[in-house]
Amino acid sequence: MDTTDPVQDTMQLAINEKRVKVESVKAAITDVENAVTEEERRAALEAVRTIVASELTRRQPPKPTPEVSSSVQRLVDKDLPLIEEDYKNDVKEPKFAALVHSKK
Q: Which residues of 82-92 are buried (b: 16+ CB within 10 A; e: fewer)?
A: eeeeeeeeeee
Q: What is the pLDDT of residue 93?
A: 61
Q: Which helix (H) or strand (E) holds 14?
A: helix 6-34
* pLDDT tens readout for residues 41-96: 888 888 888 887 887 777 666 666 666 567 777 777 787 777 777 767 665 666 65
* pLDDT tens readout for residues 10-48: 777 777 777 777 888 888 888 888 988 999 888 888 888
**Angle, CA 18 vertex, CA 17 and CA 24 arms, to 5°:** 95
Q: What is the pLDDT of residue 1?
A: 47
Name 19's Cβ contacts closer than 8 Å, sequence gap at least 6.
none
pTM: 0.41
Rounded-to-integer distance, Cα 98 and Cα 86, Å: 16
Sequence letter at residue 46: E
Q: What is the pLDDT of residue 39?
A: 92
Rounded-to-integer distance, Cα 16 and Cα 7, Å: 14
